[in-house]
Amino acid sequence: MQLTSRADRTATVSPVNVRPRSDRTVLVTGGAGYIGSHTAVALLEQGFEVIIVDDLSNSSARAVEVVGHLTGRNVTFIEGDLTDSTVVASVFASHPIDAVIHFAGLKAVGESVEQPLRYYRTNLLSTMNLLEAMQSNGVFDLVFSSSATVYGDPDTVPIPESAPLRTTNPYGATKLMIEDICRDVAASDPRWNISLLRYFNPVGAHPSGQLGEDPNGIPNNLVPFVMQVAVGRRDEVAVFGDDYDTPDGTGVRDYIHVVDLALGHIAALDRRGGRCEAYNLGTGNGSSVLEIIAAASAASGVEIPYRLADRRPGDIATSLADPTRANTELGWRADRALDVMLTDAWRWQSGNPNGFASDTAS
Ligand code: NAD
Ligand code: UFG
């Protein structure tokens, strides 16, 4: 994994003000993780140079190797902790960087309630270090992983970007605070171009079956849990509540294929004109827990056992994106259907029952 030097890149003629992708190097923080690795593949396939920084606290270096294999491209990988400002400064000092996509951070809601200081420290300090290094190195293009969690329990669905922002847990608070920091930074200098991407529920895997979600321990999220039941690692799915105000009583979410999500980041990188803008990345379509279990059974050919259980504290009935703004302003649309999401998730899970540590029992 090595970066091709700038001088080695082929020069191409480009329209005025649009630099060729082969001449743009994107720093992908958290690029060994689930969404970051899929985005690195999409970036490399579209000709960008990619540098990944990740401390591997929730991922495997194997994912970075797979990114290289799938694309046949070199990827520079730096193992490092972004909460250390000297690490961040050295990344910028030693590599030419044109834009940053910032995925790195901690993401488990329940864990954030138990360990709030760890969440505030990791998510806020990493972002502060990154923004300071970007500013001092004259890099002003940033795409940030925000979350639908910033809408809390929404008053109405589908949720537009203009909906009130609020949250109920420390993880969500870090996302809201980082959004605020980005808005303030962008207001201070017109050179900033920041896209805050509010993801709904990312699921699925790369269609090759070689790259996918590999959660540590017991999965918190529905689709990885369902897949581990289908592959025989767990006995049954607990359906958290069947008394919500939804068509079948179970929670409804806007599931989006991780490859569609990855492409949303490239659309955001190409965006020009606004200093700091937020975009919902979702499909606008909702699926209930029981619909997911049925679709996963169909995709895997395995009848997935489940039992009805109590509601999970903090869960909401329905979360659905209004993706109109991303559709119109970014020219992006999530078009992979639910059966594709679950078929791709199953290809990954069945081919790699224990994730990247495929020969390690868990
Ligand atoms: P992930 O855990 O797979 O990826 C995050 C990566 O960041 C991991 O590889 C981890 O090792 C790395 N990391 C963590 N702390 C670091 C640090 N201090 N320095 C360097 N690297 C560090 O998670 P993901 O699902 O790919 O999520 C990526 C981003 O998207 C996160 O910011 C998350 O909050 C956000 N997000 C995810 C979801 C989701 O459902 N997956 C939904 C909304 C938003
Ligand atoms: N669910 C179950 N059983 C499980 C896991 C989940 O029934 O074992 C249900 C939940 O109650 C919910 C639905 O499946 O109705 C989806 O749950 P997930 O945990 O997959 O996703 P959430 O919508 O709860 O959480 C996601 C992200 C969070 C983010 C939140 C709000 O994982 O990081 O969306 O945007 F904060």
Q: Confirm whether 15 is domain-assigned.
A: no
- Kindly state if the Cβ of 253 falls inside 6 Å of ligand 2: yes
Closest residue by Cα to atom 4, ligand 1, is: 33
Q: Confirm whether 206 is domain-assigned.
A: yes
Q: Confirm whether 8 is domain-assigned.
A: no
Q: Confirm whether 17 is domain-assigned.
A: no
Ligand nearest to the CA of 265: 1
b/e map 117-140, b = 16+ CB within 10 Å = eebbebbbbbbbbbbebbeeeebb
Q: How many CB atoms lie within 10 A of CB 262?
A: 23
Ligand nearest to the CA of 35: 1
Question: Per-residue pLDDT for 19 more than 80?
Answer: no
Q: Confirm whether 18 is domain-assigned.
A: no
Give pLDDT tens digits for 308-340: 999 999 999 999 999 999 999 999 999 999 999
Q: Confirm whether 106 is domain-assigned.
A: yes
Average pLDDT value for the chain: 93
Query: How many domains are contained in the chain?
Result: 1
Which residues constitute the domain of residue 107? 24-358
Q: Confirm whether 16 is domain-assigned.
A: no
CATH of the domain at 144: 3.40.50.720
Pocket of ligand 1 (CB under 6 A): 30, 32-36, 54-59, 81-83, 103-107, 122, 126, 145, 147, 199, 202
- Kindly state if the Cβ of 109 falls inside 6 Å of ligand 2: yes
Q: Which atom of ligand 2 is nearest to the CA of 148?
A: 35
Span 25-31, mean pLDDT?
Answer: 98
Q: Which atom of ligand 2 is nearest to the CA of 172?
A: 36
Question: What residues contact residue 319 under an 8 Å CB cut-off, 6+ apart?
Answer: 148, 151, 154, 157, 159, 200, 201, 252, 253, 254
Q: Confirm whether 68 is domain-assigned.
A: yes
Distance 319 CA to ligand 2 centre (A): 10
Q: What is the pTM of this model?
A: 0.95
- Kindly state if the Cβ of 220 falls inside 6 Å of ligand 2: yes
Catalytic residue positions? 171
| pLDDT for the residue numbered 203 | 98
| pLDDT for the residue numbered 18 | 56
Distance 103 CA to ligand 1 centre (A): 5
